[in-house]
A and B are shown apart, each in its own frame.
Chain A
Amino acid sequence: MNCKSFRDQIFLFQADELSAQDREVGQQHLDTCETCAERLRVEESLLRALKAKLPRTPAPPGLQTRIRASLREQAAPEVRVPWYRTGWFVATAAAVLLMAMLVPSLVVEVPPGTDGAGVAVREAVVVVDLDCDQAGYDLASQRACTHPHHINALKRGDGSYWSISSEEKDFRYLLLDRDVRGQQLVVQGRLYPETHTVHLTAVETLDARVWLPPSLDVRL
């Protein structure tokens, strides 16, 4: 190793982000090169100074209390929501959705397309390949599985599964796509307990995207 290549990776050396082997090679160079050893001392000194100067602003008093309160509000038992079953509420929901960008919670509720049977649910789940998951394959293998008859299901926190049903073609990919396996979602819809099938009405992902039926024509 020469001085140039040592310096090219001096930050990695400092951050301990080199492989054991590369680190060893770097250390050997350091032991024999006083210039680079001095350079490392300077970098270490500068890094300490930078770390000490970088901002560390604590959360303002009161924020924790507000967060605790809003968590409790959210954890309250699911309300059965008859008011949004009128189709006219959709327009309002669309308007609310636009404002939701500015409001902490981004839950979007749209009317289910069923006659009202089933139970309203909202739950965090993971998309899995049902057959592979039951057979014990990990999520990476599930994404790689191209078996034409395998379809996706929603795995719940307790390890049980829900089948997916939706009249909206925008949700169809959830059922069929390989890439969505392993994705964490909060799904909302109506559950038909006898078939363990959930009829989806809204889906929210961890990275804050929300899929909605195209009829709403809302762009996020």
Chain B
Amino acid sequence: MAKGPPHQRTEEFEEVALPYLDALFNLALNLTRNPKDAEDLVQETYLRAFRFFDSYQPGTHIKAWLFRILRNAFTNRYRLAKARPEEVDFDKIEGVYEQMVEDDFLRGHGSVDPEQAVMVGVPDEVIQTAMVALPEEYRAVVIMALVEDLSYKEIASALSIPLGTVMSRLHRGRKQLQVALLEYATRKGILKQGPDVSTGEAG
């Protein structure tokens, strides 16, 4: 980055970094689950990013770079404080998911469009509850991939994890969330009850 007078560098930084304010806040909120903490985290992210702006490589995806900083700041702040959420049995979820998709949509009940059913019949709180049930590192991947449209590679670099880990977290997270949506829709009678879709605590 070219050096200039401080105010000029500040403006340059704001111009490239502030458009991602909403995206950063959304991620922060999903990680901290608390609006005040999320605000603090976002503010810290910007200050930290600004300090490193001199060494920011202009070719790098700035959104992924900012996410990386936010994620690191989050880990740094909360790793000691937060107890891990209960372990999720993903093997079970995978089986449940397969069976639900099979029973609800592929085996003769094909008249219902899943998107339609979810959009009409499932309130937003259901997905929020399901997100909270996901481990924090899964939530980060889900938001980055499905809300922010980062590629797997960009996520891997932002979180400093291998590509394979991005995949497994995203795919498992996605299945668990979709199970929650489908379960709710089934409970409310929007989808027909297939045989044996009880799953315990996923939703």
Binding site for B on A (CB under 8 A): 11-12, 15, 17, 35, 38-39, 42-43, 45-60, 63-64, 66-68, 70-72, 74-77, 101-102, 104-106, 123-126, 156-158, 184-186, 204, 206-209, 220
Q: Is the CB of B42 within 8 A of A59?
A: yes
Beyond A49-B115, A157-B3, A186-B52, whether A54 also contacts B127 by CB under 8 A is yes
Closest 4 CB pairs of A and B: A157-B54, A49-B118, A59-B25, A124-B54
Distance in Å: Cβ of A119 to nearest Cβ of chain B: 16
Q: Is the CB of A57 within 8 A of B44?
A: no
Interface membership of B201, Cβ < 8 A: no
Rounded to whole Å, the gap between the CB of A206 and the closest CB of chain B is: 6
Tell me how far the C-beta of A180 lies from the nearest C-beta in chain B, rounded to whole angstroms.
Answer: 13
Q: Which residues of B contact A64 (CB under 8 A)?
A: 18, 21
With a cutoff of 8 Å between Cβ atoms, the chain A residues found around residue B69 in the complex are 206
User: Within the assembled complex, what's the spacing in Å between the Cα atoms of A49 and B114?
Assistant: 8
B8-38 interface code vs A (CB 8 A; 1 in, 0 out): 0110011000100110111001100001000
Chain A residue with minimal CB distance to B43? A104
Residues of B within 8 A of A207 (CB): 68, 72, 75-76, 160
Min distance, Cβ A189 to any Cβ of chain B, angstroms = 15
Binding site for A on B (CB under 8 A): 1-3, 6-7, 9-10, 13-14, 18, 21-22, 24-26, 29-30, 35, 39-40, 42-44, 46-48, 50-56, 68-69, 72-73, 75-77, 101, 105-106, 110, 113-119, 122, 124, 126-128, 131, 142-143, 145-147, 151-152, 160, 167, 170-171, 174, 177-178, 181-182
Interface centre among A49, A77, A124, A185 (most CB of B within 10 A): A49
- Give 12 A-B pairs besides A46-B118, A59-B39, A207-B68 with Cβ atoms closer than 8 angstroms: A15-B152, A38-B110, A42-B105, A42-B114, A50-B146, A52-B118, A55-B128, A56-B147, A60-B25, A104-B44, A105-B47, A185-B55
Please classify the interface of chain A as helix (H, G, I), strand (E, B), loop, or mixed, using the class held by over half of its residues. mixed
Q: Which residues of A lie under 8 Å from residue B24 when comparing CB positions?
A: 59
Contact A156 B54 (CB under 8 A): yes
Name A11's contact: one of B56, B73, B101, B174 (CB within 8 Å): B174
Q: Is the CB of B171 within 8 A of A11?
A: yes
B151: nearest chain-A partner, CB-CB: A17
Out of B51, B77, B115, which one reaches A74, CB within 8 Å? B51
> For residue A124, which residue of chain B has the nearest CB?
B54
Interface-centre pick from B10, B26, B55 (highest chain A CB count, 10 A): B55
B residues near A42, Cβ cutoff 8 Å: 101, 105-106, 114
